Structure 1
Amino acid sequence: MFRRRRRAEEETAAAVPEAAREEAAAPERTTGPWDAAEGYPEAERVDLGGLHLPIGPGFEVQLSMAGDRVDGAVVLVEESALQVHAFAAPKRSGIWDEVRADLAREVTAAGGTAEEREGPFGPELAAQVPAQGQGRQPVRYVGVDGPRWFLRAVISGRAAVDPTAAAILEDVVRGIVVVRGDDPMPPKEPIQLRLPAEARQAMEEQATEGQAAHADDLKPFERGPEISEIR
């Protein structure tokens, strides 16, 4: 009986540090990017479904597409650009270390350079990426591991080398809210984004107008445009 009890106590004691390590893998964060379930500060944001993206004066927001799906967003500010993508990640561990190593190999294989350094969000890559007809251009790869998600940000243009310009885009990253959802997703699968409500409404109106115009074109008893042939 004594041996059994002692063995059970040892197993319980061994399990405690592991549980503690698991909890420590996702510490409570004091700055963004934020999870949708966290108490994050209010700000003007564009609702892209899986991402709520902060906007400010002079910002231009574009969406990147993968086929017919929205897979990322680009924020343009003066001579700088910020591209962001969100992915699913394991519950108890981040993927930025792995992704960062893969990015460094890809950049080097393409003829560029990549150096790891400490940034405002932790380890990041300062890279020189080959650009068509322009030699190499500086790019910063930033990653943030969140609860069951991973956010990748790519800073290019002036903000890649100018701290003042970079601060504007870094604040955008801090203000992002990630909406992971509860559905099971494999690690590294993109979190689905969508067009903002205003853009969807505009596209639906354009589609409706286009269908109406097409219906008018197909009226069989109305005389259509004529083409006179001149020889």
Structure 2
Amino acid sequence: MQIASAMSRHISRGVGPLEVQEIIGFLAGADPSPSTAGGPRKTILLRGIVEMLSALVEERGLTDPDVDEFLALAEEGCYEVARNDGGIDAARRGLDIGPWYAGEPFVPADEYLDLGALWIPSREGIQIEPMSSDSTSGCADVTLVLDGTALQLQVFRRTEDSTWRAVRHDLLRKIRASHSRASETLGLAGIEIEANQAVTMQDGSSTFMRVRFLGCDGPGWFLRGVVTGTGAEPESLEQWPYEVFLNTVVQPVPPGGGSDTIPLHPPVVP
């Protein structure tokens, strides 16, 4: 295959010829070989795809159709790797990427606002909407607002039905059943859902609202983020909702109560 031979001339020493062949085979739809199936293969695959894409820039012997074909396969391959992983790499979460769990050794040294079950990074200009609570259940969620974009955060006890994979499936089903559009996409926090949801206004009229759903599984917990406003638009380049989501620290999960939702309290500075 011309693409494979071209890539092997330009790939770095970190990815050997056999791995190049495996990557090409994976992108073409082949099953992984028994000797490389499992966790290590996933790491090699993602790095290898990036290096092979870079090599395309240097390779003059490929025709435009070859390049287009490979880019299409690479895009689908990266999407499948992230999909199979359920979003954020579980092996990396807590090491070099968040959301974090209290007590993990690599939690960034940052200024946080204490909401009880969640500590959220303090960022200049971000406003927290008033949080209402009662003496029994506390606050169910918190909403942060900046420049027309809102991020709602909510943390749950993790169960078989509250993993990010299960929640995505349920959200897609419910949104589509309401005659709204929704799809899975790759974002800065892994797999997310982009939706154009039908909503009813206070005057009874109907309109559509753009929404992005983020999620991450942790040890005993599941963190969900909901982005609305200008940051949820398809052309938006807003990064602060992702930065806050990925740097949020989940505190030790209290014993289970009558709800999977872990209550929060109004913010205090630790």
TM-score by length of 2: 0.57
Q: Deviations over 1:55-90 (max 9, x none)?
A: 212110125557662011101001100001001114
- The 1:72–1:98 alpha-carbon spacing in structure 2 relative to 1, beyond 3 Å, is same
Match of 2:98 among 27, 32, 48: 32
- The 1:180–1:116 alpha-carbon spacing in structure 2 relative to 1, beyond 3 Å, is same
Aligned to 1:44: 111
Measured after TM superposition, the shift of residue 134 of structure 1 is: 5.8
User: Secondary structure of 2:167's match?
Assistant: helix
Q: What runs of 5+ residues in structure 2 fail to find an aligned partner? A: 1-84
Measured after TM superposition, the shift of residue 100 of structure 1 is: 0.8
Measured after TM superposition, the shift of residue 188 of structure 1 is: 7.2
Aligned to 1:117: 185
User: Secondary structure of 2:116's match?
Assistant: coil
User: Secondary structure of 1:105's match?
Assistant: helix
Match status 1:193 vs 2:264: yes
Aligned residues: 172
How large is the RMSD of aligned CA atoms in angstroms? 2.7
Aligned to 1:56: 123
Distance (Å, rounded) in 1 between the aligned partners of 2:147 and 2:158: 33
Q: Contact 2:133/2:265 (CA < 8 Å) preserved in 1?
A: no
Percent identity, please.
30
Aligned to 2:209: 137
Q: How does 1:172-183 map to 2 (within 5 A)?
A: 172-181=244-253, 183=254
User: Secondary structure of 2:124's match?
Assistant: coil
Distance (Å, rounded) in 2 between the aligned partners of 1:65 and 1:190: 15
Measured after TM superposition, the shift of residue 173 of structure 1 is: 0.7
The one-letter code matched in structure 1 to 2:102 is A
Distance (Å, rounded) in 1 between the aligned partners of 2:230 and 2:240: 11
More strand by share: 1
Distance (Å, rounded) in 2 between the aligned partners of 1:147 and 1:100: 19
Q: Contact 1:31/1:174 (CA < 8 Å) preserved in 2?
A: yes
Q: Contact 1:75/1:82 (CA < 8 Å) preserved in 2?
A: yes
Measured after TM superposition, the shift of residue 148 of structure 1 is: 1.1
Aligned to 1:75: 144
Distance (Å, rounded) in 2 between the aligned partners of 1:101 and 1:163: 25
Distance (Å, rounded) in 2 between the aligned partners of 1:145 and 1:89: 8
Measured after TM superposition, the shift of residue 109 of structure 1 is: 2.3
Aligned to 1:164: 237
Q: Deviations over 1:7-49 (max 9, x none)?
A: xxxxxxxxxxxxxxxxx99524221110012131122211000
Distance (Å, rounded) in 2 between the aligned partners of 1:69 and 1:93: 23
User: Secondary structure of 1:87's match?
Assistant: strand
The one-letter code matched in structure 2 to 1:52 is W
Measured after TM superposition, the shift of residue 184 of structure 1 is: 3.6
The one-letter code matched in structure 1 to 2:173 is R
Q: Which has the higher contact order (CA 8 A, sep 6+)?
A: 1
Task: Detail structure 1 runs of 4+ shifted over 6 Å in the superposition.
Answer: none
Distance (Å, rounded) in 1 between the aligned partners of 2:112 and 2:157: 21
Q: How does 1:205-220 map to 2 (within 5 A)?
A: none
Q: Contact 2:113/2:268 (CA < 8 Å) preserved in 1?
A: no
